[in-house]
Structure 1
Amino acid sequence: MIQLYTDGASSGNPGPGGYGVILRSGPHYKEISEGFRITTNNRMELLAVCIGLEAIKKPNQTVTVYSDSKYVIDSVEKKWVFGWLKKGFEGKKNKDLWLRFLQLYKIHKVSFIWVKGHAGHPENERCDQLAVLASKSKDLKIDTVFEATNGNT
C-alpha cells in the first residue's frame, strides 16, 4: 500500500503557488514539490494529487491519498467529477487537471482521507512547507493552462 500526502498553496489566489507531495511505501519515502508564478490554491491541491499518482511507476497499486482539500476529496468521493465529465466540464474550472487526474485514477485503486490543515498532522504540515517554499522559489514555472485561460500570459 502506498500513502500519498499532498498539499497546495497559493498566495493571492490567483498568485504565486506551489504543491508539496510525500510518497511513502514501507521503507520508501519521496518528497516532490514545484512552484508556479500564477495559479490558484485549488489547482495546486489537485496538481499535487496528479503528480503523486504519476510518480507511482507500477499500475494497480492501492493508494491512500491524504489531503486537506475538500475541493479535491469531495469532488471524487461524492462523484461530482464524474457528472462534470459527462457534461464536458461545462462551467467548471480546472478541466485540464481533472482529466489528467481521471486518467491516473483509472490506473490505481485510490481512496481519500481528509486531514485537517494546519492542525499538526506531520506529513500534511511537511507538504504545506514544501508547497509554500516552492511558491516562493526564484525559478517559478508557468501554469500555462491557467495563464492562457485567464489572460495572464
Structure 2
Amino acid sequence: MPPTTAPSLPCVELYTDGACSGNPGPGGWAFVLRDQKTGKELEGSGGEAVTTNNQMELLATIRGLEALRRPCKVTLYADSKYVGQGLSSWMAGWKRRGWKRKEGSQLKPVKNVELWQRLDELVQRHQVVFEHVKGHSGHPENERCDQLAVAASQKYRK
C-alpha cells in the first residue's frame, strides 16, 4: 500500500495596513490577499468613526485572515510592530496570565483584548509567519494597503 500524504496547505501572502487620522480618530484598515500558486488577489477595506491606529492594524489582519475559506500557510506582511510583536512574543504570555499584561509588578488588562482574542482564534486555524515591512518605503502591496486604509478612513472624517 503506498504511503498516504496529507494534502499540503495552500500558500497565501497577506499584506495589511491600518490608518488613523488622530489617535483616536477616524480610521481605516485594508488588506491584499494573494494566492501564491495562482496569483489571484482579493482586496478588502473598511473603517470606523472613532478608533486607534493599533485597532485598525489588528482589524486589517483579522479581516484578511477571515477572508480565507480554509486553513492556509500565510505569510503576513505588515508595517505594524504592534501586530508583529503581539503575535511573535506577547500573546503567549498574555494567554498564560489570563489575557493580562505585565506593567511593572502589576498585571493589567490587555488593550484591545477582544481583537487579540479573535486574532488568536484565527492564527490557530492557519500557519502564520509574520514578516515586518518598513512602512512608506515603496513596497507596492504595503503602499496599496495604505491607500485603501486611508481612503476608508476618509469616509468617517467630518
The equivalent of 1:4 in structure 2 is 14
Tell me how far apart the structure 1 counterparts of residues 122 and 129 of structure 2 sit (CA, whole Å).
Answer: 13
Instruction: Report 1:63-82 matches (<5 A).
Output: 63-77=74-88, 79-82=89-92
- The amino acid of 1:27's aligned partner reads G
- SS of 1:97 mapped into structure 2: helix
Structure with greater strand percent? 2
The equivalent of 1:112 in structure 2 is 130
Deviation at 1:138, TM superposition (A): 5.2
- The amino acid of 2:80's aligned partner reads S
The equivalent of 2:73 in structure 1 is 62
Match of 1:39 among 20, 35, 51: 51
Question: Unpaired segments of 5 or more residues in structure 1?
Answer: 140-153
Does the CA contact (< 8 Å) of 2:78 and 2:132 recur in 1? yes
What do the CA deviations read for 1:61-105 (whole angstroms, capped 9, x no partner)?
Answer: 10000000000101111x211111222223220100000000000
The equivalent of 2:94 in structure 1 is 84
The equivalent of 2:143 in structure 1 is 125
Q: Which has the larger radius of gyration?
A: 2
Q: Percent identity?
A: 53
What do the CA deviations read for 1:13-58 (whole angstroms, capped 9, x no partner)?
Answer: 1000010100001231111000100000001001111100000001
Which consecutive aligned stretches of 4+ in structure 1 deviate over 6 angstroms post-superposition? Answer: none
The equivalent of 2:25 in structure 1 is 15
Tell me how far apart the structure 1 counterparts of residues 62 and 116 of structure 2 sit (CA, whole Å).
Answer: 9
Deviation at 1:8, TM superposition (A): 0.3
Tell me how far apart the structure 2 counterparts of residues 52 and 27 of structure 1 sit (CA, whole Å).
Answer: 16
The equivalent of 1:143 in structure 2 is none
Question: Unpaired segments of 5 or more residues in structure 2?
Answer: 1-10, 101-107
